[in-house]
Structure 1
Amino acid sequence: MNYRHGFHAGNFADVLKHAVLARILQHLDAKPTPYRVIDTHAGVGRYDLDSEEALRTHEWKDGVARLDRSPLSAAAEAVLEPYRAALAAIRSEYGPSAYPGSPWLCRHAMRPFDRLIAAELHPPTYRKLAEVLARDGRCKALAIDGWTALRANIPPKERRGVVLIDPPFEEKDEFATLTEQFIAAHRKWPTGIYMLWYPIKDRTAVETMADGVREAGIGRLLRLEIDVDRPEAAGGLGATGLLIANPPWKLAEEAETLLPALTERLAQGQKPRYLCEQIRPDG
């Protein structure tokens, strides 16, 4: 499949990814030492849900727009708060149709001494990303392949931080590449937080990836998935997941609170499901 950010901005997969990322960043902010974010496939950084791309799919209407209707439970909203705050901030600055990509969300959460590396290989997309991050000395946009950026920037000098790996899945062997690159990166920087996003269309490919990571002996993994039971006639993506290495303390507990409420709100069919699985939680 070809998962281009602009067509899917604000959809249910983005809501899961960005809500969890915002929570991870809040955990990083809780300690006084600086951290670094490495975003390997950054996209343009900021999206307009009134753009031609977004209006072609309208996927945000079954994603972030559903969250806008009313609050979730009080417990779920407490976990969702950093994501809600980022949405409020970008809309205040750019209007109600603005939506934060991961680089913008990271920049919003970062403190003056934290740093962001955002890689984007596609030239027009990179130019937009560079414009979004311009005049912010904490952030650097790189016009290079995301895997090259990952290898070149770990371990960071801060020794603390998160790597977001969110490839477009344009290649048939993208899951194999994702598995290989993640395992290699983890060996080089085993204490970093890694957040791998993946679409779920081929269950075999997903399980093969998960098995490969387990067999590599990587400890402290958290696997989160949402299946919104999208009708087959609607086409497109209906399920998505995150594999997180070295999740912050209590993130699994927070996910157990958030995912049921989020799955219920974002469901498109009668049998939505979620998964919150800890793998070797003690390392």
Structure 2
Amino acid sequence: MLSYRHAFHAGNFADVLKHSVLCLCLEHLIKKEKPYFYLDTHSGAGSYSLTQAKAQQNQEFLNGISQLWQLTTSPPELQPYLNAIRATNPKKALSIYPGSPLLVQHYLRDHDYMRLYELHPKDHDKLKALFKKVQQIRIEQSDGFAALKSALPPHIKRGIVLIDPSYEIKTEYKTAIMQLIEGYNRFSTGIFLLWYPVVQRNRINKMEQQLRDSKIRNILQVEHCIAPDSSEHGMTGSGLLIINPPWQLHSQLTKLLPFLQEKLSPQYNRTVCRHLVPE
């Protein structure tokens, strides 16, 4: 299915969590001069206008990045993310929300390398146009799940793999975990981030158990919910399952999550930051 378009949801509370964690991981990688590799299985269009019709239809960004954009003070754990957002909006007006690839480009050095996969033809074309002059970025219109087999392991031994499917199809919950495990088995030194929506809690429970059964060690789980779990239609929260998290990430997120909860969901207090599987 190719009906999902992230432009309708860009900059929402789920993007804030996903991208603030991604930026913290990138900050960790660039502390060393050694090159890193980045792979994005479901890249989207790369950049999203918040002033055009798709974003304006639901205005999900109003309960996301817009709540953080004008803050005069914020915790240091949020600064890498906010700095990358500001770099995309140099005129100090929030009009563009960068997708994961554009955020990563903010951290891309001459010797780093990025591979992006997007199946939707329109989003793929936008992605190609966005990065047409960047030599270190390779873009393919193909299934990102399949890329975890074809592109891994990379010749660079440090890096991040972001798995961020739409979960339009129910079986994608199981498929995402299976591909995460497959990818880790091919690139065990990489940092893996698997994003998931909280729509039905039983699906998340099954994903967690699949990972426990895999015998992979050192898995961190982070989650931010803006409403109680529900059997009704709609996302009440989102989370990340992180294999090989940077050593400071757990402590950073224990400081960041309460701040996000206060700013984005003061009416409901549920965040999770725990080692699903210890080292």
Cα distance in 2 for partners of 1:146, 1:95 equals 33
**1:229 shift after superposition:** 1.8
Distance change >3 Å, CA 94–CA 170, structure 1 → 2: farther
Cα displacement string for residues 95-143 of structure 1 (whole angstroms, at most 9, x for unaligned residues): 6301110000011111111011010011111000111111001111111
Which of residues 246, 268, 280 in structure 1 aligns to 2:277? Answer: 280
In the alignment, what sits opposite 2:25?
24
Cα displacement string for residues 139-180 of structure 1 (whole angstroms, at most 9, x for unaligned residues): 111111111122111111011100000001111211010011
| 1:227 equivalenced with 2:225 (yes/no) | yes
**1:228 shift after superposition:** 1.1
Cα distance in 2 for partners of 1:3, 1:69 equals 30
In the alignment, what sits opposite 1:6?
7
CA contact (8 A) 2:199 2:233 kept: no
Structure 1: state its 5+ residue gaps: none
| 1:271 equivalenced with 2:272 (yes/no) | no
1:115-126, aligned counterparts within 5 Å?
A: 115-126=113-124
Cα distance in 2 for partners of 1:3, 1:251 equals 31
CA contact (8 A) 1:35 1:114 kept: yes
CA contact (8 A) 1:3 1:169 kept: no
CA contact (8 A) 1:230 1:267 kept: no
Distance change >3 Å, CA 71–CA 218, structure 1 → 2: farther
| 1:84 equivalenced with 2:82 (yes/no) | yes
Distance change >3 Å, CA 207–CA 235, structure 1 → 2: closer
In the alignment, what sits opposite 1:154?
152
**1:281 shift after superposition:** 3.2
Structure 2: state its 5+ residue gaps: none
1:64-143, aligned counterparts within 5 Å?
A: 64-73=65-74, 77-92=75-90, 96-143=94-141
* Secondary structure of 1:92's aligned partner: coil
Cα distance in 2 for partners of 1:244, 1:253 equals 14
Cα distance in 2 for partners of 1:140, 1:260 equals 37
CA contact (8 A) 1:36 1:160 kept: yes
CA contact (8 A) 1:72 1:261 kept: no
Letter in 2 for 1:123: P
Identity of aligned residues (%): 39
Letter in 1 for 2:142: I
**1:4 shift after superposition:** 3.1
In the alignment, what sits opposite 1:54?
55
Cα displacement string for residues 198-228 of structure 1 (whole angstroms, at most 9, x for unaligned residues): 0001111111011101110010011000011
**What TM-score comes out, normalization by structure 2 length?**
0.94
